[in-house]
Amino acid sequence: MKIIKTQWILVLGILIFTNCKKNESPVLITETGTFKINFKHSIDNQPVELNQNIYINEAGNHYEVNDIMYFISDVKLHPHNGNAFIIDKNTIAHYVDFSIPSTFTWSFSDAIPVGVYDSISFIFGINKDKNISNSFVNPPESNMFWPEILGGGYHYMKINGKWLNQQNTSVAFNFHFGIGQNYSDTITHNVNTITSYVQNYFSVSLPLSSFQITKNQATSINLEMAIDKWFKTPHVWNHNYWGSSIMQNQSALQTIKENGFDVFSIK
């Protein structure tokens, strides 16, 4: 009897063990690689030269560029087969500053599943939910603050420079892009007459930016901003018309937004 009981115990043990193995969920091992963006900047298809009055825009303005600073956020990868997903979604935004070479690369912390990706898209600037005052406590990002009375948060972009006006005098321009305002006083734009704010950030999609993520490999793309295109299409930007400062001019900010559709490309 003891022998029979022992045999039954062994049989039951084997059946239970086998059944447990069958009910276990398979462990899915996803092969991954890493991804980064290198930022480039050009004017008239040539690398940007700062502090050189050597450029002429579509309106005929002779100009120079002194500073280039901006935010990129909510980068999405679009797989060949599958749904798009945001990478580093807990990051507010990546700051790019022409005077700080270390900002020219954004290395993403997320491990990216291997495969072919048809395109990349992103937000130029910072979306409403993330663009909160005092989110950045240290410079240089904190220096991009947008005045609280004008909507708060941060500039999407600062391009500072100079142009030769109609009197052939060098005048500074602040090509600053961020939250706009609507005013009841449409003449003086007195800040006490602000009635509402306008979120001017916009999405950039680069459909011809196919690339492949390879197992355990670092994949990088070069994202180029063509500075001259901010002044070109679909609206010709004339510094003599818009003047030096535009932060309280929603018409100017809307023009910048509409001109941004072809500023970026993959090189």
pLDDT above 90 for 11: no
> Which residue's structure tokens are 């006490």?
192
Give the per-residue pLDDT at 210.
85
- pLDDT on residue 82: 82
Of the listed ranges 122-136, 167-181, 208-222, the least confidently predicted one is: 208-222
Reading the block at residue 51, the tokens are 């502090």
Average pLDDT over residues 88-102: 96
Provide CB contacts within 8 A for 253, sequence distance 6+.
Answer: 177, 178, 180, 198, 200, 246, 247
Mean pLDDT for the stretch of residues 103-116: 94
Can you tell me the mean pLDDT for 191-220? 92
- pLDDT score of 230: 98
pLDDT of residue 208 exceeding 80 = no
Say what the pLDDT of residue 118 is. 92
Nearest CA-CA partner of 168 in 231, 240, 244: 240
- The total of other beta-carbon atoms located within 10 Å of residue 226's CB is 19
Q: pLDDT tens for residues 14-63?
A: 444 444 444 444 444 579 999 999 999 999 999 999 999 999 999 999 99
Tell me: the pLDDT tens digits for 230-259?
999 999 999 999 999 999 999 999 999 999
Strand-strand pairing, 105-107 and 32-43 = antiparallel
CA distances from 193 to 59, 183, 186, 188 (A): 33, 5, 9, 10
Interatomic CA distance for residues 208 and 81, integer angstroms? 16
Rounded-to-integer distance, Cα 157 and Cα 247, Å: 11
What tens digit of pLDDT does each residue of 132-174 get? Answer: 999 999 999 999 999 999 999 999 999 999 999 999 999 999 9
The phi, psi pair for 88, rounded to 5°, reads 50, 45
pLDDT digits (tens, 9 = 90+) for 175-195: 999 999 999 998 999 999 999
- Mapped onto helix, strand or coil, the DSSP state of residue 141 is helix
pLDDT at 22: 45
Q: What is the pLDDT of residue 12?
A: 43
- Residue written as token pair 């002194």: 66
Q: Which residues contact 198 (CB under 8 A, 6 or more apart)?
A: 179, 180, 181, 182, 250, 253, 254
Q: How far apart, in Å, are the Cα atoms of 140 and each of 9, 152, 155, 177, 232?
A: 71, 17, 12, 17, 29
Query: Which residues make Cβ contacts (< 8 Å) with residue 134, sequence separation at least 6?
Result: none
Task: State mean pLDDT over 193-220.
Answer: 92
Helix (H, G, I), strand (E, B) or coil at 2: helix
